[in-house]
Structure formats: C-alpha cells, structure tokens
C-alpha cells in the first residue's frame, strides 16, 4: 500500500470474497485502536457491531455481488475497546491476480448535534457582543464570522443528511422487494388449496410465512411473528427464512424444525443479550393421504380449524416462543381431518384490529364461500377497522382448504 493511501484522511480496507481482511490502512487501524497484525486475515464481522453484522450479510454481500459496488451505505464499526463508530462505506469489487477483492473506503459521520451546539454558542456570543457596546467592534465582527462558518458547516451537514435519507430510502425499498420475493405463491392441487395475505406496518415486516409441497401428499406450512417492528425484526425474519425453507423442503420432522429455529435465534444473540429477540411461530405438516395434521404452536395465536360439519376448533399454543429459553423441547400434536375442513392461521396484527371473536365469526360465516372470497372479506374488515390514532402491527394470515 502506498504511503498516501496508508495515511489518507479516511479508512481503507480490502476484503476477500468470503469477507476476510487482506489490506487495512493505518488511518482505520488508529480509528479502531488495533495493531496491524491483530486484524490481518480476520473476518470483517470482527470489527462490526451486531446490527451491522446482519446488515453486512443481508445487504452488503448481495449488493457487491450483484452490482460490483456499494455506494454510501451506513454501518457501525466496533473499536478494540467496544466503542461504536458510525461510518459511511463506499465499496468496489475488483479483480487482482485472478482473485476478486472488495476495496472499501470508510468515512466517519460526525455528530450533527455538535454543530448545532456550536451554532447556538456562537449566536449567544454574537447577541452578547451586540448588547455589550463597550466591547470592541472587532470582537463582534470575529464572532459573526464564526457564526457564518458554523452555519456553512450545518448546511453542509444537512445536505449530507438529506443524501443519506435518500440512499437509505432506496436501500429500504430494495430490502422490501427482497423480503417480498421470499414469500411463497398460492398452492392449489386436487388435495389442498392455500392462500395468504401479508401487509407490513412499515417498509419492512417482522412477520414471515412459507408453505411448501414436500412430496405428492405432504405440505409444510409455517407462520412466524418476530418481536418488534421495522429493520431489526425484518433482518431476523430473513435469517430465519433461509433456515425454515431448507428444513421444511427436506421434510424434517415438526419438532426438529422448531428446535433448529429456536437454536438459530439463541446462536444469533449468544453474545448480546440486549439485542435478543424472540419469535412466536406455528408450523403445520399436512399429510393429504393419511388426512392427518401434525402441528406445533410456539406461543402463537391459536389457529382456527373449521370442520365440514361447521364446528370450529382451535390449535392452541402449548410451547413458549422460540428464542426465549434454551433447552426447550417442542412436542408435536396430531389431529385427523376430513375433506372439506378449513384452517386459518394469523398473526396478532390481524386480531389487534378486528379481534379474535370477529375473525372467528367471519371464518365461520363464510364457510361456504370460496377461499378467495373469504380472504377478501377479511381484508375488507381489516381496512374498515383501521384508525389513524391506532398504531397498526404487521398483518399476515394463511387460509387452507383441505379437499
């Protein structure tokens, strides 16, 4: 590395394709309080905060592979002493010696409040100078000049913040599209019909679902609701999605699916209890040949099961949410169904608006309607109950008809 780049007024590092540091300049080392040999060959996640580690995996890595560059992405670094440093990252994917490396430039983001405090102090000094006529005019001129300089800094910072907001909005929109594409399409066969509805309360959602045909007769349906809203919950849902998609598609037993998801959350937050999230979940394994449903409800609102005779039952929770306590054994429950039975799975964002009793009545009242008509009537009821004074949660539901 040449001396100018090594001592540049910004951080610089190069990463291998798997995220390991091969080059880092002295500016960044001094910023992080690390000696060179301690970071050489280490993974980038060793100098990232916990949220930044997830953001790196879910956004930085896909973007650098897809676009060969990353522009003005906000993340937080962690110094050797544990201090958090917010930075803006620009990165470019380059090929050197037959290998591909991500060259990254990192700019610290200054605290806006510092500039505002300086501006207020300068203003007070200017006012004091005007009132104190006995002070020399030169002192007043100097104070006003300082005020102009602080105003210019604030304007520059506002311009940077506005640009950051625009870029953040673009990143959130990209994340929303990625999350939306992970949701599975409706299923309709001669044995089963599955439809769904998903609406986020913000740009990103903490609700996630998936339903998959495992083989000719077996179908796996899962619905999860991660604690909280927004970016942090959405990052966790996407982390869980790749795991449950693989487990269900392979036809893994219901108790193993829940155990693996639970262990994943404990592993994810094992070094940061303050950031820990838990997740309610319900998983159904339906065998249309045996007309049997195996299910586990981990702290989730009870699913409604309407049999062909018009009697309604509930698949209650018998286990705690995943990620809450370690060493929990999730036990599978089994029920037999008849052709013509229906199931309704939902998150608490649905019942927060229309209530479980009204949802149950809607489900039973429309038992002769098509699944599509039933779904539209539930959505219409949700829209009708919306209120600007009420803070809505993510809304998600799954409708199943067993033929």
Q: Which string of DSSP letters, residue by residue, matches 288-322?
A: TTTTEEEEEEEBPPPEEEE-TTS-EEEE---BPPB
Residues 6 or more apart in contact with residue 242 via CB below 8 angstroms: none
Q: What share of the chain is helix, strand, coil (3-state, %, to 5)?
A: 45, 30, 30
Asked whether the predicted pLDDT for residue 167 surpasses 80, the reply is no
Q: Which pLDDT tens digit goes with each residue over 215-251?
A: 999 999 999 999 866 677 778 888 899 899 999 999 9
CA torsion sign, 148 to 151 to 153 to 159?
A: negative
pLDDT band at 130; cut points 50, 70, 90: confident
Mean pLDDT of the chain: 88
Residues 6 or more apart in contact with residue 138 via CB below 8 angstroms: none
From the centroid of its chain, how far is CA 127? Answer: 48
pLDDT band at 112; cut points 50, 70, 90: very low
- Please give the biggest Cα pair distance in the chain: 97
Q: Please give the backbone phi and psi of residue 311, each rounded to the nearest 5 degrees, phi first.
A: -90, 135
pLDDT band at 172; cut points 50, 70, 90: low
Across the range 324-341, mean pLDDT stands at: 94
What pTM does this model have? 0.58
Taking the C-alpha atoms of residue 258 and residue 36, their distance in angstroms, rounded to an integer, is 43
Asked whether the predicted pLDDT for residue 187 surpasses 80, the reply is yes
Q: What is the number of residues in the chain?
A: 403
pLDDT band at 147; cut points 50, 70, 90: confident
Query: Which residue from 10, 13, 32, 27 is spatially nearest to 79, judged by alpha carbons?
Result: 32
What percent of the chain has pLDDT above 70?
A: 89
Residues 6 or more apart in contact with residue 349 via CB below 8 angstroms: 201, 207, 225, 392, 393, 394, 395, 396
Using DSSP, state whether 346 is helix, strand or coil.
Answer: strand
Taking the C-alpha atoms of residue 132 and residue 390, their distance in angstroms, rounded to an integer, is 53
């Amino acid at each position: 590395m040449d001396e100018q780049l090594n001592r540049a007024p910004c951080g610089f590092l190069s990463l291998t394709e798997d995220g390991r540091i091969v080059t880092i300049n002295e500016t960044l080392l001094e910023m992080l309080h690390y000696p060179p040999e301690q970071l050489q060959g280490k993974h980038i996640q060793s100098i990232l905060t916990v949220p930044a580690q997830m953001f790196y995996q879910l956004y930085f890595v896909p973007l650098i592979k897809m676009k060969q560059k990353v522009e003005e992405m906000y993340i937080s670094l962690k110094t050797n002493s544990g201090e958090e440093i917010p930075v803006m990252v620009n990165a470019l994917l380059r090929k050197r010696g037959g290998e591909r490396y991500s060259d990254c430039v990192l700019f610290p983001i200054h605290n806006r409040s510092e500039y505002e405090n300086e501006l207020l102090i300068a203003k007070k000094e200017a006012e004091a100078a005007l009132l104190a006529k006995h002070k020399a005019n030169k002192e007043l001129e100097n104070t006003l000049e300082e005020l102009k300089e602080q105003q210019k800094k604030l304007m520059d910072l506002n311009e940077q913040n506005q640009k950051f907001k625009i870029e953040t909005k673009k990143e959130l929109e990209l994340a929303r599209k990625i999350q939306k594409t992970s949701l599975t399409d409706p299923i309709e066969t001669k044995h089963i019909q599955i439809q769904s509805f998903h609406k986020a309360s913000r740009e990103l959602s903490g609700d996630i679902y998936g339903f998959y045909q495992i083989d000719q007769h077996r179908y796996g349906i899962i619905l999860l609701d991660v604690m909280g809203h927004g970016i942090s919950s959405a990052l966790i849902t996407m982390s869980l999605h790749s795991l449950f998609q693989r487990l269900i598609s392979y036809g893994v037993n219901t108790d193993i699916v829940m155990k693996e998801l639970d262990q994943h959350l404990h592993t994810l937050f094992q070094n940061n209890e303050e950031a820990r999230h838990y997740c309610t979940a319900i998983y159904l394994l339906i065998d249309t040949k045996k007309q049997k449903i195996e299910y586990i409800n981990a702290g989730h609102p009870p699913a409604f099961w309407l049999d062909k005779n018009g009697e309604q039952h509930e698949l209650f929770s018998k286990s705690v949410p995943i990620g809450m306590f370690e060493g929990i054994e999730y036990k599978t429950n089994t029920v037999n169904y008849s052709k013509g039975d229906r199931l309704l799975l939902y998150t608490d964002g649905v019942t927060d608006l229309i209530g479980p009793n009204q949802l149950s009545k809607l489900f039973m009242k429309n038992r002769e309607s098509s699944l599509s008509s039933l779904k539209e009537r539930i959505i219409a009821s949700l829209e009708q109950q919306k209120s600007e004074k009420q803070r809505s949660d993510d809304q998600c539901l799954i409708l199943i008809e067993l033929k």
